[in-house]
Each structure stands twice: as C-alpha cells, then as structure tokens.
A and B are shown apart, each in its own frame.
Chain A
C-alpha cells in the first residue's frame, strides 16, 4: 500500500512538472509583474490545456502525499519523494528529447541508492 502511494505520488508529480514546463513554454516568458498583468496572464493560463492537466496532476500528487504522511514517518515520506528526480531525468531524455549526460545519470543512480537506504 505504501509503495503504491509512493508510485502514484511520483508519477503524478512528474507528469505535473513536465506538463507545467510544456504549458509555460507555450505561453512564453512572463515579463510584466504588475498585479493586473499577472491577473491577465493567469486568465490566459487557465485556458491552457497543459496547465489544466498539470494542476490536476499536482492535486493527485498532493492527496497521495497526504495519505502517505498519515501512514508513515515524515523522514520516510519526504526522502522517497526524491524518486521524481530519476523519473524526470528519464522523461527529459525520452519525451522531451533532451541530451542527458553521464553525470546526470550518475546523480539519478545515487538518488535511487539513497531512497533504498532510507526505506530499509
């Protein structure tokens, strides 16, 4: 049960962050930080399919995290959520076609080792 929640949280967080990145890239850089302009930008973003998807995914990840917290130690739930770094590296390579170098794979491997140690 607890690993199912970890998997759900990691998948939803990763999907949310990738969708958020895709949505913000389509929207373009935000230059104007006056309240009115931010309001208008939010109104435009609220109709962006990627942003809507990212908000939904983040909500799923938040509730999965809540459930996980109610069952496990804080010092278990927070470190295991670092698996998202590994998932994001994999998705960056295969979905976003970014070039991922050896150092980055080494980092992802270290995160996996760390999570394994935390969960033992």
Chain B
C-alpha cells in the first residue's frame, strides 16, 4: 500500500469513529439531560431545556457529528458511509443498556440487527451517482 493510500485509510477510520461516537454520545447526553418530568409543551420550555448542562453537551456533540459527517462525505462515498455508520445503532443500544439501564429484549436486538442489514442493503443497492464525481473519491476508503 502506498503512503497516500495508507494516509487516506487512517483519515477515513478516524473520521468514521468520530462520526459514530459523536452521534451515539450526543443522543445519550440529550436523553440523560432531559428529565422524565420534562413537559416540553411550550417553545420556551424547549429553549430552557437546551441550556441544561447535559443537553447542551449533547447538542455540541451532535454539531460535531454533522460537521464530521459532512467532512467524511467530502471524500468517501455515501454507500460506504451509510453501512459503516449504522454500527451506531448497536452502540446506542449498548449505551442505553449499560448507562441508562434500559431493558433491551431479544426482539429489540433482532430489530436492531435487521435495521443494520437493511441500511447495508440500501447502500449496496444505490446506483452510481448520475452527476459527475471527483476522481479523488474513486479511491474512497476501501
């Protein structure tokens, strides 16, 4: 493997990890920060909730998620990004189980696995883009 390809591979892996973890933990901190009693019935209550420390941390992580996802998409194909980042569904379930004590039944695990498989199929079934694509993205990350 030439150095350029190796560098792209590392860059892709690191960026993918950031995308998956910032999304999963962003969702987790949002859930953590919103009290069960939150009514969220008026716009003001949403704004107040946004400034709860854990919710604010979650929002920051979700901003990191969108930014890192856009960066990753600028060189990697969507058909690579979708299936790889669908690992996040399992990560979120694990976080829910371990850190929030959510009960995850066998049925729910089976559903999560089906969703991952479905996302992988959706992306391998995508036709090549009809618009021109950059030669650089052809290297992708594989």
Bitwise, A48-74 to B at CB < 8 A (1) or not (0) is 000000000000001101110110011
A75 near B108 with CB under 8 A, answer yes
Given contacts A99-B127, A116-B111, A117-B107, A107 and B96 within 8 Å (CB-CB): no
Contact between A111 and B34, CB atoms less than 8 A apart: no
User: B112's contact among A74, A105, A112, A114, by CB below 8 Å, is which?
Assistant: A114
* Residues of B close to A101: CB separation below 8 A: 125, 127
Chain A window 80-120, contacts with chain B (Cβ cutoff 8 Å), 1 for yes, 0 for no: 00100100010000000011111111111111111111111
A residues within 8 A CB of B60?
A: none
Q: How far is the CB of B21 from chain A (nearest CB, A)?
A: 14
Residues on A close to B: CB < 8 A?
25, 29-30, 62-63, 65-67, 69-70, 73-75, 77-79, 82, 85, 89, 98-120
The residue on B at minimum CB distance from A119 is B111
Chain B residue numbers with a CB within 8 Å of A66 are 30, 34, 40, 46, 49
Please indicate the chain B residues that have their CB under 8 angstroms from the CB of A70 in the complex: 34-36, 38, 40
Q: Give residues in B with beta carbon < 8 Å to A.
A: 27-28, 30-31, 34-36, 38, 40, 46, 49, 62, 74, 82, 89, 92-93, 95-97, 100, 102, 104, 107-108, 110-127, 130-131, 134
Residues of A within 8 A of B104 (CB): 75
Across-interface contacts of B125 in A (CB, < 8 A): 100-107
Majority SS at the chain B contact face? helix
- Contact partner of B89 among A29, A82, A108, CB < 8 A? A82
Is A69 in contact with B31, judged by CB distance below 8 angstroms? yes
Name the B residues within 8 Å of A108 (CB-CB): 118, 122
Residue of A nearest to B34 (CB): A70
Q: Is there contact, CB below 8 Å, between B115 and A114?
A: yes
Nearest B residue to A85, CB-CB: B122
Q: Which chain A residue shows the least CB distance to B112?
A: A79
B89 engages A78 (CB within 8 Å): yes
Q: Is the CB of A114 within 8 A of B113?
A: yes
